[in-house]
Amino acid sequence: MDRYRGFEVKLICGAGGAEIEGIDASCPLAPEVVAELRRALAEHCVIFLRDQDLTPEQQKAFAGHFGPLAQTPFIKPLDGHPEMMRIVREPQEAKKLNFGGRWHTDMTFSPEPVMGTCLYARESPAVGGDTIWTNQMLAFEALSPALQRLLEKQVVMHSARRSYGPQGTYADDDLKSMRIQASESALKEQPHPCIRTHPETGRSILYVNWVYAIRFQDMTEEESAPLLDFLNRHSQRPEFQIRFRWRQGSLALWDNRSTQHIAVNDYPGHRRVMDRVTIAGDKPYYKETP
């Protein structure tokens, strides 16, 4: 186990991910414990707490230790909790795609994408329904030096239109229990560096994803597609992956700056209910290393 003050950390795989032992997320946390949790999050990309019993208010309070909470556009929030969304899949729902069922980084279509996401399992299928993350710092480091140098100079345009635009994936209201609202505002594009610097560790991050990164700046989507497709396939190599098996009461907090993730759609006929809050972030930047 890695050593941290105030709790124990058990690593779950080589790419990252760590189970935290000795923390009750329903209780207020001392500043020094929050600082250590921040360190664990930055180092391991995702931290997990098992067997938590949380109300929505307690989940929000836990996430709020790491920064102000952010609201999620295009999706109606949980009643009475504007910062929280409830991700539901009912057994009888026949969907083409489950919510979160493509590789993505949360809300990179925003000028200041969220720093972190906190997800809590209220109801989990007995088998299936895992979440997989990829460590985008490792993905960058595995690229050739020549490609690293090329990408460090590039800007990528991000947009929510493929998901939430009028012709987007969710525009047909297939995910009825999610109360998704397609919008013309999803057509906007937002530039971000292709390689971003982690503000706490200084490490370089490959900052692209299948869902929201649509093209390189000053290039068409068709011109951009071959390289973006390669980078996304590269990002999802097994040695970069962190996989978590949910059970009721599991809590995950991931660093949205350094990861992609996907919700595995392998539990037909079963119900899954997750509560999600996000933590406000800042504008991505790239700082060249000496």
Concerning whether 261 is annotated as a catalytic residue, the answer is: yes
CATH number at residue 88: 3.60.130.10
Residue 169: inside a domain = yes
- Categorize the per-residue pLDDT at 114 as very low, low, confident or very high, splitting at 50, 70 and 90: very high
Catalytic residue from among 65, 89, 104, 161: 104
Is 95 a residue whose pLDDT tops 90?
no
3-state secondary structure of 286: coil
Residue 194: inside a domain = yes
Give the domain range for residue 41.
2-279
70-84 average pLDDT score = 92
Catalytic residue from among 86, 161, 257, 276: 276
123-146 average pLDDT score = 98
Catalytic residue from among 196, 261, 272, 275: 261
Concerning whether 234 is annotated as a catalytic residue, the answer is: no
Q: How far apart are CA 193 and CA 214, in angstroms?
A: 13
Residue 226: inside a domain = yes
Overall domain count for the chain:
1
pLDDT in tens, 178-233: 778 777 888 899 999 999 999 999 999 999 999 999 999 999 999 999 999 999 99
247-257 average pLDDT score = 99
pLDDT score of 169 = 74
Residue 69: inside a domain = yes
Residue 248: inside a domain = yes
Residue 164: inside a domain = yes
Residue 288: inside a domain = no
53-69 average pLDDT score = 98
Residue 245: inside a domain = yes
Concerning whether 218 is annotated as a catalytic residue, the answer is: no
Q: What is the 3-state secondary structure (H, E, C) of 105-136?
A: CCCCCCCCCCCEEEEEEEECCCCCCCEEEEEH
Structure tokens, 26: 């329903």
Catalytic residue from among 106, 158, 161, 196: 106
User: Taking Cα atoms as reference points, which of 175, 207, 170 lies closest to residue 186?
Assistant: 170
Concerning whether 102 is annotated as a catalytic residue, the answer is: no
Q: How far apart are CA 181 and CA 173, in angstroms?
A: 8
